[in-house]
Structure 1
Amino acid sequence: LVSEVAMGHAGIVLGLEVSRLARNNADWHRLLELAAMSRTLIMDEDGIYDAASFNDRMLLGLKGTMSEAELHILKSRLQGGILNKARRGELELPLPIGFVYTPDTRVVLDPDRQIQDTVRMLFDTFREAGSACAVVRRLRSEKILFPRRIRRGIGKGDVLWSEIDHSRLLQILHNPRYAGAFAYGRTRTVYNAKLKSVQQKMPRSDWQVLIPQAHEGYISWDEFERNQSSLEQNAVGFSPGLRGRMPRQGSGLLQGRVLCGRCGARMRVHYERFEDKLRPYYVCNEAVVRHAGKTCQWARGPAIDEAVSALLLEAMAPTAIEVALAVQQEISQRVEQA
């Protein structure tokens, strides 16, 4: 419609509540501006308007503002109804594997005993092992498959069995549903730098609704809290975002700084005693941690540390230090001038 009006192919735009052609005032006023330039009339159930006329254009702009406000009120009422239903614990949300809805919308354990036993075994294994990586490694070593339900598309509702990975296991361990709690507002939709909507996880203090003991669960709420504490303590060793920021004790020069040349993952430091000294080794075991796979590669640390040390000493020669000091002094002068 906008392109036809802009090219002058339309003499008049007919419609009921024409302000509903756009969902925001920016689009509506753009159409009015093009209609004024191409001398296109606009007609609704109240009359005919000339967008080139100031009075008609002001009236059309007011109708667009009222329409946008009406949409905002409708959306607010819908969101308020959803929130009120969530506060009562009656809002139907997609359930994780191991739970189903009854005809009267109650949440119960999945009647499939195989699914129930697999989920219970997962939490029992984490209770014994204490880390998500150990659980993945044990399940894969014993060739135990974990179920997942298709939520959309072809085969919706079917259950597939496959090997579990580290990220899927963390989703299950962090989900309060398995402790019998109803939670709403765990994520919020935000826009990234590319203006694409993404889901951002919120801290528990910012959850809109949390109702413990809302239905039967696989573990107790106290055990869920203990699991969260264990996962938080293990995050320093397993999280790519945290690992590498805090150097630990040891003689390794490049702790958290070496990247694997094969897979691009950050390599960890492993120490072994050799001739009464701890010798560092840089090991890429990302596949071991995430998917209970095999070590990608490893390298002896002393040779790498010596090469990097020589490079640093060469770069930090007295001449380079003088140049750096001169640059710093010039920057300080510019800051003072500013």
Structure 2
Amino acid sequence: MQQPGGGADGMAPTAPGKGAFASAHTRDALPRVIWRYRTAGMAFGALAIAAVLVEQGAGPLRWAFCLATGFAWPHIAWWLARRSGSPFEAEQRNLVFDSVLAAAWVPLLHFNLLPSVLLLALPAADKINSDVPGLLRRSVLPALAALLVAGLAAGFVFEPASSIPVILASLPMLLVHTMMVSLQRVQLLRKLILKNEALGRLAQTDVVTGLALRGHWEREAARLLERARADAAPAVLALVDVDGFKQVNDGHGHLAGDALLRAAGALLLRTLRPGDAAGRYGGDEFAVVFPDTTMAEAARLAEAYRAAVQAIELQQAPGLSLSVSIGLAEARPDHGRIEDWIQAADDALYEAKRRGRNRLVVAAAADAPQGDSIA
């Protein structure tokens, strides 16, 4: 019996295989989700069946079976799944029995063409789309057996012509199924796109600091340098060294070191503006590009960050004094490669550390001596 939806027998939205249900809670909640789709789907199937039964002048047994299939079975299936120790496995058995019911109705309808085709094709298509391993294969033999038994009981009467009323009564089963499958596939595609985007961001992000990984940052920095050169726009690169990181690791443990990097990285992200590009350049070094920014503005932002780092308190190392050293370099026409720009900032950073750390040093211009520090 066809149910609206994109999962096995159209009941569950793209009813996924066991691996898609990551948690026991999700798996155990499946019967309630399927119950809603099965209830609606069986009702649409019963409508098509009833149209044929009216034309056949069917007796009370087939009408009772129609009512049981369309309105009782969905609730029985939910009850069976809920009382089972494994609702997910119970629902798979229910899905197989859905196909048994659908196949049994084909000879009882005297092989009336349109509803018979829908009763056989839609459950099979849903099981293919369900992602439940082996579900279609497990349904074939029980469905064939049901068709044979029902055919023997009904005498294999063959009346394939579908009247206009039967066609009209079958359309909701077909149209609702098609629309629901399409809707669920669109939703699945959107989820896949979002997950791929999340995985892409994860592949580009350092898990400790939340900053971009070095390779991704270097590509973005090279792009910003090229843009600055093409537009003759100002841009500044900052290299940040977390002072005393090795001593924190050695004296307080690697958890404290990670906590320091995590706090410093999070603080840097809060300091940045839209369009700024920050990454973890090395073990305890960060790198930032400030596009369309003068040296004065970049120095102000860097200095605010340096001062804020001193206020960080680590639970793993209470009372520990923290600081960073920063080297700034403005993009210049002679910076033909990103490495040239990084080297200029690195020279300024080295000077900041040579002067005692916890300070900011601006790289010298091309025609000027080494830059000044801002403490």
TM-score bin (small chain): under 0.3
Larger radius of gyration: 2
- Higher relative helix content: 2
Q: Which structure has more strand as a fraction of its residues?
A: 1
TM-score scaled to structure 2, two decimals? 0.21
Higher relative contact order (CA 8 A, sep 6+): 2
